[in-house]
Amino acid sequence: MEDMTNKDVREPYTEHRLCYYDGASRRVLVKDEEIPFPEGKLIVSRTDLRGIITHCNHAFVEMSGYTEAELLGQPHYILRHPDMPKAIFKDAWETVARGEKWHGYVKNLCKDGRYYWVYATIILNVRAGNPISCTSVRRKPSRTQVEACIAYYAQLKQAEV
């Protein structure tokens, strides 16, 4: 996946290098600016079992700042924000792989370096008894829960170092 550049992200921003579970890494540029979740909408996407985006709805495209063509075929971690602890995603994938529903609060990174918080639910899609893909639905989160997660995730990130 390509590094983020100042072509898409205007200053001021901070620069980070993210290393993903599959060994890939990417430079991301992050702005301290939150985008509010769109009222009444759901952000929906599907990935294959490796986490590659195969479908996304209009709200997903709009919030991410990428075009649909830029998103399809990319790993879902294209939206990974450096403030998100790895343990959260590890828990999500392990929970879903067991066939259980995962819920959690996630801070996502947009193409332009801004971010948005969501309350996400991920489930495994099973057809004829076989897992074939994952559906993820994000909705507007409770601010109280987001504030709690900001503190908790900061602790988890510190423990990663």
Partner 1 sequence: MKPYVLTVSPDFPPAQIAGWYIFNTWLQRQLGVPIHVDLFDDFASQRAVIQDDGIDLIYANPFDAAMLVREKGFTAIATPLHKSDEAIIAVAADSPVKRIEDLAPGIRIASTDDPDVNLIAMIMLEPADLSAQNVQTHTVDTYVLVAKRLLQGKADVGFFLRDAFETLSGMIQRQLRELIRSEIHVIRHVLLASPSLQEQHEQLRRILPAMSTDPKGKGVLESMGLQGWEIQEQEDTEFMIDLMDTLVN
Strand 130-139 and strand 102-109: the pairing is unpaired
Separation between Cα atoms, residue 96 and residue 109, nearest integer Å: 22
Nearer to partner 1, 9 or 134 (CB): 134
Rule CB under 8 A: say whether 45 interacts with partner 1.
no
* Cα 140-145-75 angle, rounded to 5 deg: 60
User: Interaction with partner 1 in 55-94: which residues (CB under 8 A)?
Assistant: 57-59
Give CA–CA dist 33/151, Å, rounded: 18
Q: Which of 31, 41, 86, 111 binds partner 1 (CB under 8 A)?
A: 41
39 lies in the binding site for partner 1 (CB under 8 A): yes
Q: Which residue, 111 or 140, is less far from partner 1 as judged by CB? A: 140
Rounded Cα–Cα distance for residues 81 and 73 (Å):
19
Residue 154: other Cβ atoms inside 10 A = 12
Nearer to partner 1, 3 or 100 (CB): 100
Question: Counting contacts by CB under 8 A, is residue 40 touching partner 1?
Answer: yes
When asked if residue 135 is in the footprint of partner 1 (CB under 8 A), the reply is: yes
Min dist. Cβ of residue 57 to partner 1 (A): 7
